[in-house]
Each structure stands twice: as C-alpha cells, then as structure tokens.
Structure 1
Amino acid sequence: MARPHLPRRRPAAPRPAGTPVGEPVAEPTTPPGPTPPAAGSAPTPGPGSKTGPTTGSTTGSTSTATAEPAGTPVAPPPPTPRARRTGPARILDATPVLLVQAAHPRQAVATAVLMSVAAALADRPTRELGLVLLTVLVGQAMLGWHNDLVDRRRDAAHATRGKPLADGRLDPGTAWFALACGLLALVPLSVAHGPTAGLIYLGSVAIGLLGNLTLRTGVLSFVPWAAAFATYPAFLSYGGWGGVGTDEAPQPAMVLLAALLGVGVHLLTALWGLVADHEDGWTYLPLRLGLRLGAARLLALTALYLGLVTVAIGFVGTTSGLGTG
C-alpha cells in the first residue's frame, strides 16, 4: 500500500527574543527593491541603470528611446566654417588688397594726381613731381584708414558696401599697424620737401585726422576740409628737393581758392552717405543742403561749383603764379 504524499511544511520563522510563547510570529516582508519582470515583458531599469525609460509601446511592437540623464550638459553644435573663396575672389580678400580698399583709393589717387599736376604747372622739376605724388598719396591713405577705423561700427550698422573693416574681412589691428607705418613713412617724405613745406603738409594731415573725430556731424563740418586744402598751395610753394625748400610764400588768392575747393570736395564725398547720416541724426552742411535741394540737384550744383573753382585756380595760376616770388 502506497504512502500518501503529504505537503511539506514550511519551517517556522525564528521567534525573536522576548516574544511570548503562543503569540504568532509575523511573516517576513519583501525588502524594497526592483520587482522581477514578468515573463515576456521588458525589464524596467532601476536606480543607477544607464538604460533610459521605455516609451512609445504599441500593440504588436515596442519602441524604446534612450534619454540623457538629467543635468547632462549638451554640447553646442560645431561652428559652420566660412566658405573659402577661390580664384580671383580669394585674391580680393588678401590683406594688401583690403588695405588699399580701406584707404579710400579713388580720393587718395585723385588728390595726389591733382597735386602733382599743380606742381608741374608751378614749374617744379620732374624729380619733385614724383615726390609730391608719393607724399600726398601716403597722407591720403592714412586719412582713409583712420576714417574707416572711426566709422567701423557705423558702417557695420548700415551695411555699407566696400568697407572691409566693417564687414570683418580686415582686422582693425592690421589697419592701425598700417596707419603707424604710414606715419613713419610720411615724416621723412614730408621733410624731403624742406622743413617748412614738410611741417605744413604734416599739419594738413593732422587737421584731416582731427576732422574725422570732431566737427564732422555739425554745421561746421566743412571747416577741417577748407583748412586742410588751404595748406596745399603753401606746401607746393615752399617745397623743394632733398630737404632744401624755398622761401616763396603762396598767393593769398590761391589759398582762398584751395579752401573753397576743399568745401566742394566735402560736399561731393558726403553725397553718397546722406541717408545713413540722416538716420544717425547728423546735422552737417551737406545734409542740410541735400534736404533742401534734393540729392540730384545738390550733385549737379556741386559739380558746377567744383568746375568754377578749378577754372579760377587755373586762371590765378597762369596769371599770377602759385607763389609770390
């Protein structure tokens, strides 16, 4: 006869010390912790797990996404590299080309050529004509660099074209270095015309530099231009070669006409920036005239004015000469 199978009794839990006999002992509870996953289900990550939470479960499929732990810094995207120009466009971004562009080359070349022509009409020797051309060209380039350095933020705000300092293609430190080198070259070039002529031209450049900082936004904006141009006849009449100048003073009429010429050049160069200057609240002479006459009429009158002054300079130069001697 087979022995009946009896269920095995679970061992009794140990009785804690001090518990009276006959009092039931509480069953041990399951310690807190992660619950074992049921059969066929995805495991649930517990504390410290590197696996992110499960999201987006649907019938028949389960999709999971891994999330970054809270507080993890997100790295910024890499900067987009600026497209490098190739061919002729790359040459235009070369530092020497940008320095030429920032020097106001058209105004610089025009002024230097006109001064050389005036020196030729004053019967200056040919070797001195080249010296006049180079000296004036360096001085005008310095004025152009300084002007673009002063107006760098204004030009950037107005998105002015053709300003490498404003659009970031030319570093301001490079322009300041070029300006310093220009000064080191201008001093011996100016003195080569003679002490008096050299000091006069250096004074003319100093007036232009101050004009970039003062008076340019008000009604007296023409004063630095008139004063700088008024020194040109004296620079030519006192000029010589090899540091030996002359003692021939300029004709007073030539000084006056040169000052009037400077006012006309100021009007002409200011015409292209009247809109931006008006937005910035400038009240200088070209803007006042432009608002009253209109830009087109002001341009026509300025051209006529410059033509008349040039004719007067030529008349005085041919009848009385540049100097008083």
Structure 2
Amino acid sequence: MDRPSGRSSRGAVHRPGGARAPTIGRVGTPEQSTTGGPAASWVGRVTGLAGACHPGPVVAVTALMAALAVTAGQGAARGVLTAASVLAGQLSVGWCNDAFDARRDIAAGRRGKPVVDGTVGVTEVWVAAYAALALCVPLSFACGLWAGAVHLTGVAAAWAYDLRLKATAWSWVPYAVGFAALPAFVALGLPGQPWPAWWVVTAGALLGVGAHLGDALPDIRGDLATGVRGWPHRLGPDGARLLLPVPLVTASAILALGPAGPPGRGGMAALAAAGLVAVAGTVLGRRRERAAFAAAVAVAAVDAALLLLRGTGIA
C-alpha cells in the first residue's frame, strides 16, 4: 500500500533533490495548475502524473498482491481483477498524497516532486486521485462483497492518513489497516470467499507499522520543520531507528512459524537472515541513518518472499 504514505507513505520511500527552491508565486497554489499553461505538453503531463503517484510503491505492492493471488490459487481472470483493484487503489492513494502535500512540499522546497517542479498541476493530480478511487470501487466489489469491503476499508484508511492522520500520534493505524487488508482481500477473492488466516492479517499489519517507521525515518527532521508530528516524529530519529526492526522481524517470525506445518529450512533461513540484517541495520544506523533504512527494506523483501512461500495457506 503506498504510503497509506506520507512517504509514507508511502509507501514506497520517496526523496527530494537540489537546485533552486521554488516559490509559491512561481508554481502557484494547490488550487491552481502548476504546469505553466499551454506550453506544457500532453506527454509531460502524463509523465508528471506518473511521477506523482509514487510509482515505486504502487508497482511493488501491485506486483506482490498479483503474485500472492497466483500463489494462493486465484484463477487467471480473478487474479487480473485483483491486481487491477489494487493498482487503482494504490494510484488513488499516491496521487492524493502528493496533491494534499503540495503546499507543504513547496514551502519545504522539495524538488523532484512533479507538482513542486511544475510538471503537472495540483488540480490535475486531484482529478486523477478521485478518478482512480472511483474506478477502485467497482473493481473491488467485482471480487466479491466481503473482498471489496475489506479492500476499500484499507484504501479508506490510506486516504485518512493522507488527509488527516499523518500528523497525529495515530499515524501508524492506517498503515496497519491498509497492509492487513491487502492479503485479506486476496484471500476473500478465492472460491468460496474464505476468511483469511490470522497469521497473514497479523503479519500484514506489522509490515505496515514497519513500513511507516521506515518511510518516515529519512524525513523526520524535515517533516518536523514543516509541522508534521506523526507517531515516528514523536519517537524522534533515534527512537524510530531502534524500533524499526521490531515489527518487521516479528512479521518474519509470524510468516515463518504461523502457518500450519513445519516452516522448513527455507523459512528458518529467511527468519535468521531477517534477524541478522535487522541487527546490522540498527547498529550501523547509529552512524549512517540510511543503513537502518536499507536494512528495513531488505527485511521487508524477506517478508514478501515468506508471504509468497506460505501463500497457499492464507485462507
């Protein structure tokens, strides 16, 4: 789930770059187009929209859920429908995030974001966000009533993060709900609409909390300067870094040991690798903050592999 992101999300792990900081007068306000008028090309606007959706997390989450749908046993047609639903939901969340944060990003001079750079207008990004959200609703319910309700609950949580909860002590909740909803959505899309196994929902929620901490960690100081005081910001850079591996490694343990049957050598090796990488990231992160972030991404990748390895038992 992109960053149900501040990036978050986030979503999914997005970052700014150099040059001269823009001014409000140059790029306009969040209610105005920032494309510079008719001179901007259609291709440029499409490129800007693609960049504003947080493409990394969108592609990663959609691909993971598509793979999980195949592993879990969904048919080809249902798998495509599942992937399309997740894609629409993630696009809506990513665009909502960039559109809503436009004023703050402009004030902070966060170059590298299409809205800040003037590649695409804020109004256009809002239109894209609402269009993707509108498309997500019928696609989700086409997978089943309960499946659709669960998926849309996750998408709604991500929008709540973007619009309100990002700057509160409850900022972790949308991430937990959104990430838990994704594998549950896949499970409920199986024949007979079986309820998802406890371990996959729990691991998803923990991955969401870890994703929130990892997503926020590189930007905590800058976000505090612009008034964002979410849960990771209240912990501070050191607190967030030390806590970051806990939910991720706990998710690894649940994914390896939670399903019925022995975890096998592969599961135990993955769990051991996740623990070692997490410890290394925590230690190295004392001097290099990016090491903690890189370790978190590596552990999340291990968790994704475990999820697919155990995917046949998600329901």
Return the TM-score normalized by structure 1: 0.64
Contact 1:253 1:316 in 2 (8 A): no
Q: How does 1:301-312 map to 2 (within 5 A)?
A: 301-303=295-297, 305-307=299-301, 309-310=303-304, 312=306
CA distance in structure 2 between the aligned counterparts of 1:170 and 1:235, rounded to whole angstroms: 33
**Structure 2 unaligned runs (5+)?**
1-35, 242-285
CA distance in structure 2 between the aligned counterparts of 1:128 and 1:281, rounded to whole angstroms: 43
Q: How does 1:107-256 map to 2 (within 5 A)?
A: 107-239=57-189, 246-256=192-202
Contact 1:219 1:284 in 2 (8 A): yes
Q: How does 1:1-325 map to 2 (within 5 A)?
A: 94-239=44-189, 246-287=192-233, 288=235, 290-292=237-239, 293=241, 294=286, 295-303=289-297, 305-307=299-301, 309-310=303-304, 312-314=306-308, 316-317=310-311, 321-323=313-315
Percent of paired sites with the same residue: 32
Q: CA deviation at 1:216?
A: 1.6
**Structure 1 unaligned runs (5+)?**
1-81
Deviates more, 1:206-215 or 1:309-318: 309-318
CA distance in structure 2 between the aligned counterparts of 1:307 and 1:100, rounded to whole angstroms: 24
What is residue 275 of structure 2 aligned with on the other side? none
Question: Which one has the bigger helix percentage?
Answer: 2
Which has the larger Rg? 1
Residues 159 and 311 of structure 1, relative CA distance in 2, 3 Å threshold: same
In the alignment of these two chains, the number of paired residues is 232
CA distance in structure 1 between the aligned counterparts of 2:211 and 2:197, rounded to whole angstroms: 21
Q: Deviation digits for residues 185-219 of structure 1, max 9, x if unmatched?
A: 21221121111111211111111000112332234
Q: Deviation digits for residues 82-106 of structure 1, max 9, x if unmatched?
A: 7998xxxx76962221111111111
Which letter does structure 1 place at the counterpart of 2:292? L
Q: CA deviation at 1:315?
A: 5.6
